[in-house]
């Protein structure tokens, strides 16, 4: 398998999943500056969306969209702890979280990583993020086991996007359950391996 990634970007989530399932894979770094891979290939010819993560599986599947790449990897590895199997109602709770993280958290960071948004606009996104994270904090507080699922693809994805709060100066330090979650996740061996491989530790 090949995973196209950029250090610390949302591609870190499927990267952690790959580490967790002990799958052989190659990491291919992509620069956002020129859309070139580390081998000098034009990334837009590989993934015309121009975005990481992008996966090429051993059987030739070309897959974009991080939430779906993580689902695919969990299912190929038959890891029902990462994503409960069809028929288990918990599956839909993990998928509900995946959709929420993708649409209500991940994408609200976009204005901070592209030019053209002034501070007033950015503050609207920050306020919205804070509101969403306050709700997430309550969910973690009320559940026995992080999000209630353990170390699933949803916890992994939440960890990866929430790391970005620091880079946009969004103070989440008062959200104690969320902070405990982040610290616990950071210590997980697969998270450590992936972060080390991306030069983040
Ligand atoms: N819908 C895509 C979005 C992926 C995405 O936003 N990737 C960002 C990094 S976190 C990216 O590649 N940005 C560079 C660009 O859009 O040119 C997904 O969920 O995987």
Q: Which of 51, 98, 106, 168 is the best mutation target for the ligand 1 pocket, counting ligand atoms within 8 Å of the beta carbon and taking the most?
A: 51
Which pLDDT score is estimated for 148? Answer: 54
Distance 10 CA to ligand 1 centre (A): 7
pLDDT of residue 142: 79
Ligand 1 first shell, C-beta below 6 A:
9-10, 32, 50-53, 65-67, 102
Element (H, E) at 24: none
Residues 84, 148 contacting (CB under 8 angstroms): no
Cα 68 to ligand 1 centre (Å): 13
Cα 127 to chain centroid, rounded = 21
The predicted pLDDT at position 198 comes to: 98
- Model confidence pTM above 0.95: yes
Cβ partners under 8 Å of residue 2, min gap 6: 25, 26, 27, 28, 55, 56
Find all residues with CB under 8 Å of 94, minimum gap 6, and list them: 83, 84, 149, 152, 153, 154
pLDDT value, residue 145? 54
30-57 burial, b at 16+ Cβ within 10 Å, e below that, comes to beeeebebeeeeebeebbeeebbbbbbb
pLDDT value, residue 143: 78
Each of the 201 residues of the chain gets a pLDDT tens digit; together they read 999 999 999 999 999 999 999 989 999 999 999 999 999 999 999 999 999 999 999 999 999 999 999 999 999 999 999 999 999 999 999 999 999 999 999 999 999 998 999 999 999 999 999 999 999 999 998 776 555 558 999 999 999 999 999 999 999 999 999 999 999 999 999 999 999 999 999
Rg of the chain in Å (alpha carbons): 17
Nearest CA to 82 out of 22, 133, 161 is that of: 22
């Amino acid at each position: 398998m090949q995973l196209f990634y950029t250090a610390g970007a949302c591609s870190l989530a499927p990267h952690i999943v790959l580490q967790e399932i002990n799958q052989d894979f190659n990491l291919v770094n992509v620069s956002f500056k020129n859309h070139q891979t580390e081998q000098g290939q034009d990334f837009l010819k590989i993934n015309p969306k121009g975005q990481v993560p992008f996966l090429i599986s051993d059987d030739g599947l070309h897959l974009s969209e991080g939430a779906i790449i993580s689902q695919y990897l969990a299912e190929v590895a038959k890891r029902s702890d990462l994503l409960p199997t069809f028929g288990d109602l918990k599956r839909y709770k993990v998928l509900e979280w995946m959709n929420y993280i993708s649409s209500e958290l991940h994408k609200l960071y976009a204005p901070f990583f592209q030019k053209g948004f002034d501070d007033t606009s950015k503050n609207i996104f920050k306020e919205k993020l804070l509101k969403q994270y306050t709700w997430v904090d309550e969910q973690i507080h009320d559940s026995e086991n992080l999000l209630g699922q353990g170390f699933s693809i949803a916890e992994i994805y939440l960890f990866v996007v929430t790391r970005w709060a620091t880079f946009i100066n969004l103070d989440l330090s008062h959200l104690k359950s969320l902070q405990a979650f982040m610290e616990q996740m950071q210590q997980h061996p697969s998270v450590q391996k992936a972060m080390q491989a991306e030069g983040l530790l």
